[in-house]
Amino acid sequence: MTQLLLIKEETYRNGVNNIGDVVGAFPDNWTFTKKEIDLFSIVKITADKAAIDFKKPEIKRITRAKTTEWTNELSEMKEVWQDADGKFKEIIKSPKFALSFVKGEIKENYSLYPENLTEIIISS
């Protein structure tokens, strides 16, 4: 079992986080402070920390060379996230927290922003 520390009304900040965002995952025997209990929602789930970490999308920095010639120009660089289908998508807006707990399920937060849905083809 794992305890999730979640954003609730008191810690919600419009445009910064969302109610249900996962702030942290803690073992079942973890004791929270009074302040944490007052400021955050705490839910117990059956998944272990490894299963929760597995839900976080992979984040990569990718580059595209402007030329094959030696030059003073810097390569173009982007940051991408990998969705559940294995597709990489450009990160335009990064969520403060990678995961949220919604309707009893842990979900990634990158797809909440429409601007983060553009697929990037990465050559191997």
What is the domain partition of the chain in residue ranges?
2-116
The CA R_g of the chain, rounded to the nearest whole Å, is 18
pLDDT digits (tens, 9 = 90+) for 69-93: 777 777 889 999 999 999 999 999 9
pLDDT digits (tens, 9 = 90+) for 16-63: 999 999 999 999 999 999 999 999 999 999 999 899 999 999 999 998
pTM for this model (two decimals) = 0.84
Question: Could you tell me the pLDDT band of residue 124, with boundaries at 50, 70 and 90?
Answer: low
Say which DSSP state 21 is in: B
Residue 65 has pLDDT above 80, yes or no: no
Structure tokens at 79: 């940051």
- Separation CA 102–CA 33 (nearest Å): 24
Q: Where are the alpha helices (DSSP H) in 42-105?
A: 49-55
- Separation CA 109–CA 89 (nearest Å): 13
What are the beta bridge partners of residue 62? 78
- Separation CA 7–CA 30 (nearest Å): 18
